[in-house]
Structure 1
């Protein structure tokens, strides 16, 4: 019996090593195949993600209707889906239409300032040459091949024009692809929300049919835990964004900063990106304010740093960290590593993903120690 178990372990190690070396040697092919699969399935991934987010206001809406009427009716579901989509649309429109006017004013102010700044630069150059005639004489005595300069300028202009045309074609193709993916994602999200109970039941049937009872129970338990962690993370992020937006607005109102409503909304919206989102919002706010007053923009940077300390050390670890059961130091680690590896998506999903792994590891270790008859809270010498 022991020899068979040892043989299985040896075979398992050999198979694992062979697969590992094959993956290392063919990593480029695997990466290319993965990118193609991701491109093809992107609308459905986006739809599933949207359905998961929209399910939160949908459940809230249905639960409230059940409390009011005392009974669940089938027409609650389509009405709840419509409510969830309208809520998200209103929130996005609220952010966009508050921020865009200030951005437009900033761009207009910048365009108005540019000619005067160019004139100042030209006057400075003329003054410099008048005060330093030797420099001007040296430039005049240089043997410049004007024909060569002209041909280079024409080539550069043609290259720029070709690049602009290629960029326009790329932008048009990206817009068309984005519209198509968005449409497919919305349709898929509506389908998931409409039949979420049936889909959940079918997945459970597939799991219990494919694995033994012990593993099936474990997989279902992990799925429930993942749903709980990601749901708590989203609700915690929204709560944290709301609190941060209010803090920014009150502080900017107290110190009489301009664009306080739009910057507060923008910062709150960007803070949905863990830890670093509020930094991006503060940076954009400083750019908006600098067009009106550079000293105020500098003070706004100081103000943002103070708010960041409060948000990073008090609000975020308590609101989001506690909601997902992850210590504050691991929140920072997850956002930094996830963002470095997978960009914006990694920053958004790293915290709940690491929280799920953290809780599963903690529960597994506690179970193993209890199974061995060891006290989980005992000192290391007594284990």
Structure 2
């Protein structure tokens, strides 16, 4: 019996090594195939993600409406879906109609200030050249072919014009594809939410029909844990980002910083990305403010550090809780790798994904130790 089990383990290791060797030598083909599959299924992936996010307010709506009326009715589902879409629409309306005018004013003010700063630098360079005439003598002695420069400028202008036309075509095509993907994603999300119990039942039936009872129970429990981790993480991150943005706005209003609304919303949105989001939001805000007042830009960096300390040590543990459950080094690893592979979406979803893997790994280790009669420091889930 032991020999057979060891033979299976050796065969498994050999097969895994062969697959790993093949994947390393065919990485480009795997990446191209993945990109093709991802492009074809993107609307459905977006729809599934949208359904997952909308399911959070939908559950809250159905829970409290059922509690208030004392009975669940089938039409609560469609009303709850409309309520969830209304919440998303209100948030987008807030960003568009309230933040956009302030953002436009911020950009206009920034654009109007930048030329003044450029003129200051030009004047400084002119003064420097005036005080150092040997620089002009060196420039005058340099061999310059005016006709060659003119020809290169014309070629560069033609290249830019052609690139601009191509960019416009690509932009229009991208807009059409985005509208189509959004439409399909919304329809697919409504389909999932309206029949989520039926889909869940069919999923469980398929799992128990394809796998042994032990493995089926494990897969179902993993699915439940994944739903719990991602739901808690997303809802907690949204609430935490709102609180952080509000803290920035109140603090900037008290100390008289410019661009309050734009910088606060930017910082709150970027806070959805663990670790790097706060750095990016604070850096952009400091640059915008420093153009108006360099001193205030420095003080904004100090304010950002103080608020981030409060957020990281007081707000984040209580709002997001243990949904992440990752050491700081693994959070940084997840955000870096996820962002490098999948961009902004990878930075958002890499942390709960690695958190789920981390928790499953810990639970498996603890379960194996307990099954052998060994003590563990923390309780383990019998997955």
- Structure 1 length-normalised TM: 0.90
Whether the 8 Å contact between 1:273 and 1:347 is mirrored in structure 2 is yes
Whether the 8 Å contact between 1:55 and 1:193 is mirrored in structure 2 is yes
**Matches of 1:293 and 1:361, distance apart in 2:** 51
Cα distance 1:270–1:10, how it changes in 2: closer, same or farther (>3 A)? closer
**Matches of 2:104 and 2:117, distance apart in 1:** 20
* 1:209 pairs with 2:173: no
Q: Deviations over 1:254-281 (max 9, x none)?
A: 3122232332233222212223223322
**Matches of 1:220 and 1:305, distance apart in 2:** 42
Cα distance 1:240–1:121, how it changes in 2: closer, same or farther (>3 A)? closer
Q: Deviations over 1:227-276 (max 9, x none)?
A: 11111111211221122123212322331222323322332222122232
**Distance apart, 1:355 and its partner CA:** 1.8
Whether the 8 Å contact between 1:98 and 1:262 is mirrored in structure 2 is no
Cα distance 1:117–1:297, how it changes in 2: closer, same or farther (>3 A)? closer
* 1:296 pairs with 2:296: yes
Deviates more, 1:132-141 or 1:193-202: 132-141
Q: Which residue of 1 aligns with 2:167?
A: 167
Q: Which residue of 2 aligns with 1:270?
A: 270
Q: Which residue of 2 aligns with 1:42?
A: 42
**Matches of 1:370 and 1:316, distance apart in 2:** 32
Whether the 8 Å contact between 2:259 and 2:289 is mirrored in structure 1 is yes
**Matches of 1:347 and 1:114, distance apart in 2:** 32
* 1:179 pairs with 2:217: no
Note the 1:208-357 alignment, pairs <5 A. Answer: 208-328=208-328, 330-357=330-357
Whether the 8 Å contact between 1:204 and 1:220 is mirrored in structure 2 is yes
**Distance apart, 1:41 and its partner CA:** 0.6
**Matches of 1:36 and 1:168, distance apart in 2:** 24
Deviates more, 1:312-321 or 1:15-24: 312-321
**Matches of 1:83 and 1:250, distance apart in 2:** 30
Deviates more, 1:339-348 or 1:326-335: 326-335
**Matches of 1:362 and 1:123, distance apart in 2:** 63
Cα distance 1:301–1:3, how it changes in 2: closer, same or farther (>3 A)? closer
**Matches of 2:130 and 2:375, distance apart in 1:** 86
Deviates more, 1:330-339 or 1:153-162: 330-339
**Distance apart, 1:300 and its partner CA:** 0.9
**Matches of 1:273 and 1:119, distance apart in 2:** 37
Cα distance 1:87–1:143, how it changes in 2: closer, same or farther (>3 A)? same
Whether the 8 Å contact between 2:102 and 2:261 is mirrored in structure 1 is no
**Distance apart, 1:141 and its partner CA:** 4.9
Q: Deviations over 1:134-170 (max 9, x none)?
A: 5445544544322111111111111121222222222
Deviates more, 1:122-131 or 1:191-200: 122-131
Q: Deviations over 1:159-218 (max 9, x none)?
A: 121222222222222222111111111111111011100000000010010001111111
Unaligned runs of 5+ residues in structure 1 are 379-383
Whether the 8 Å contact between 2:106 and 2:259 is mirrored in structure 1 is no
Deviates more, 1:173-182 or 1:341-350: 341-350
Deviates more, 1:132-141 or 1:146-155: 132-141
- Structure 2 length-normalised TM: 0.90
Deviates more, 1:10-19 or 1:294-303: 10-19
Cα distance 1:103–1:291, how it changes in 2: closer, same or farther (>3 A)? farther
- Give the 3-state SS of the residue equivalent to 1:189 in structure 2: helix
- Give the 3-state SS of the residue equivalent to 1:201 in structure 2: helix
C-alpha RMSD over aligned residues: 2.4
**Matches of 2:243 and 2:31, distance apart in 1:** 40
